[in-house]
Structure 1
């Protein structure tokens, strides 16, 4: 079949941009869901590795990332609305099920929300590097409003992107991998708008963002699940155990949390080889 890349209008007339690799209709579909500031081009190496192993890959962009549109009310984005966007995309593409949802950061939170809200569509759920709720609900300071304010004051994303690169990868990795660091920096700068950053931060700051209330339902909503986390991603290797236990209770099967050595928040970039090995073992198991 021909390539299916483009965008379509959601029920509120926003566009959502996507990329579905061209292959046979009956080939299992792996859906990849992005982090904040991550355009779907971030996954290029993962798409190539999955495609040569016989998978069809669907990627899409978050609101006002890439060519996706943004809601009129930037404060209205929630993980429920993001899950609804993904459901509408699957309906548009006539995909009744996906073999796996692989989400990183907010893409992982969307995957858990989706599996709980639309059970039986995701066969295998892969949750990578995500917090379990809005940080204020955990008694912590919410970093997102100050970042939005600083971005609006500056009138651009330059400083925000540099800070994100440091948090995601660290100075040592950036220095040792200048080509890949430049690719990711370029994707963030050209693929993210200020409105897109602000509206996605609204979802991350929303009091409705609490995966702890949904995670067991998400476990029931998929056939099996796996959690992956970068070793260097703050305290997530520890705090994601709460999500693992919830998925396991709901799923009724053992759910593993595997740590990708020397990787940070976007582990499929700086931990690519180990990430792919763990992902393929899970998908083909």
Structure 2
């Protein structure tokens, strides 16, 4: 645990009850949820913990705000309990906002406002466009890319929208084009998994949403990162505050280059990855990429205690 990267998840990791053990144990978590409630004018803790509000939690805007709030709460616990600054921060889709906030680029309240507007923009696209997103498993991303290009040459709107591992890729586009492409890939041996809350995210069909988000992002100010944050769009560190607007707006129309991101941090001698969120999705992806990086999840408070103890043993 000499060179640590903190990883922040995106939508899909949320679940009812997430973070309740942290909330009960750490005052900084309760304070973070209270701060979020004041900014958003809604009880984020109730949305996260109340079993009767699972549908509300899974609404796109709420899912994004809840995940971000919990991620930053756990990050604050990590810093308070260990004092160890990460070598890098990375975030998957929505998680890029969490990474930027943890690195001091965007303050917490501004990030919440941005995410709220992002959720509204994405919701509008989801209900107004005939588009979707599907995970493709057990087929090399180069083959998927070739099939998508062939379909595009025939007038279909289908694109790779995330490179998670060499054998886990998502495609997005118009529903008809995505379903036809998925059928071809399935016949080639792929496993196909449609996404819930899905629109044609991270592909050119999000151009209007990207323009709207850019206008929103331009209303805020940004700081120099305390430690490097890797962009989903470029798989390279942010150049500085001036690159925030372009990276976050273009993120909506560009594929998530997660495999390249993991390759980059590995080349930079990162040896430990800690997922800061309510599941272990990104930890799992580390191993599926065949990385030598040791990965941990902070999904449960007891998981975090184990991580904290290991970090402190190395420090003293």
Q: TM-score, normalised by structure 1?
A: 0.38
- Structure of higher RCO (CA pairs closer than 8 Å, 6+ residues apart): 2
Larger Rg: 2
TM-score by length of 2: 0.35
